[in-house]
Amino acid sequence: MSCTTLTQGRALSCSDTVGGLDYIEFADYSTIGNPTFDATDTDVITTFDGTPTWYKYDLASTQNTFVENVTSDDDAGTTYFEQVLTLSLKKLDIASHKELKLLAYGRPHVRITDRNGNSFIAGLKKGMKVTGGSFQTGGALSDFQGYNLTLTGHERMPANFLSGAAKPS
């Protein structure tokens, strides 16, 4: 007996996309409320019933990435999705220092918008946790000075696409 019923194949796609993240937004954990899913596609969220305040971080570096790793264990009969957001934020300053410290203490929800206009929600149910990083300045005049952070989330489902009111405007 099959546990899954596949519904379609996938043709070779055109080479009309680009990599990279445009910006991310953080909201405090549990402020987004419950999602409303698209009536025809449960991989798309159209609204949230909470009242989050989203804090936007513009991204320019090619070092900013979002990777979703699928982990399955046949012996345990489990599958989950590890969401890993890697950020490189240039320039140390007092205001950022304070906010990123608070970010490290919490487990926010994260809206991610890529350079193709796609938006996703990472940490939908459990939030994302800062699992590593550094506040640094190099030795040479041209060395990096800023913040490197890694946020990790573990979710039962992959990051949902966002549309409608759930998508950043």
Residue 1 pLDDT > 50, yes or no? no
Q: What's the residue count for the chain?
A: 169
Residue 123: strand pairing partners? none
Residue 5 pLDDT > 90, yes or no? no
Q: What is the residue extent of each domain of the chain?
A: 21-166
Q: What is the pLDDT of residue 15?
A: 85
CA–CA separation, 37 and 46 (whole Å): 6
Mean pLDDT of 76-93: 96
Angle of CA points 68, 70, 73, to nearest 5°: 160
From residue 18, alpha-carbon distances to 3, 47, 61, 108, 120 in Å are 35, 27, 14, 27, 16
CA distance between the termini of the chain: 44
26 or 6, greater pLDDT: 26
Q: What is the pLDDT of residue 14?
A: 83
Q: pLDDT, tens digit, for every residue of 26-71? A: 999 999 999 999 999 989 999 999 999 999 999 988 899 999 999 9
Q: What is the pLDDT of residue 169?
A: 84
Q: 2 pLDDT band (50/70/90 cuts)?
A: low
From residue 8, alpha-carbon distances to 3, 5, 44, 101, 116 in Å are 16, 10, 18, 45, 24
Q: pLDDT, tens digit, for every residue of 100-144? A: 999 999 999 999 999 999 999 999 999 999 999 999 999 999 999
Mean pLDDT of 160-169: 95
CA–CA separation, 131 and 22 (whole Å): 22
Contacts of 95 (CB under 8 A, 6+ apart): none
Residue 3 pLDDT > 80, yes or no? no
